[in-house]
Amino acid sequence: MEDRNFLDTVMEFEQQLESMQKQFEALKKFVALMMEEHQTLQMENRHLRTRLEEVLSSKPEGKVVNDVSAKKVEIIDVGEGYDNLARLYHEGYHVCHVHFGGSRKGEDCLFCLSFLNKQNG
């Protein structure tokens, strides 16, 4: 191998290392972001489970609900617990089918509002 070629190869290798380090930094940032998001979602999930239990236990007929996930949609469809959904919305969560349970991040949602309007009327 010529000296010139060898030097080129070494410099090229150095550039590759630098580029890999940059990618690694970006990856670390991404992982940190994901962990943060994961924690937020876990908290949100816990909060929503608690609220869902409250919603279900305050149903007027006091029907025993065994299969929570199966009943959830039904309850929303028949418009029971409107007040609870409205409360959930005012606590900052989506109640629309598009983003159900997600944080509204302080913004009003037209889907939610029209959904609540329909339930009310």
Task: Note the residues at the interface with Zn ion (CB under 5 A).
Answer: 94, 96, 99, 109, 111-112
Burial of 55 (0-12, 13-18, 19+ CB in 10 A): buried
How big is the chain by its Cα radius of gyration, in Å? 26
Taking the C-alpha atoms of residue 58 and residue 40, their distance in angstroms, rounded to an integer, is 27
**Distances in whole angstroms, Cα of residue 36 to Cα of each of 41, 47, 53, 106:** 9, 17, 26, 19
Question: Nearest distance from residue 91's CB to Zn ion, in Å?
Answer: 13
Question: Nearest distance from residue 41's CB to Zn ion, in Å?
Answer: 17
- Could you say which DSSP state residue 118 is in? H
Question: Nearest distance from residue 82's CB to Zn ion, in Å?
Answer: 15
Closest CB to Zn ion among residues 71, 103: 103
Closest CB to Zn ion among residues 56, 100: 100
Closest CB to Zn ion among residues 71, 102: 102
Identify whether the C-beta of residue 16 lies closer than 8 Å to the C-beta of residue 8.
no
Question: Nearest distance from residue 40's CB to Zn ion, in Å?
Answer: 18
Closest CB to Zn ion among residues 80, 93: 93
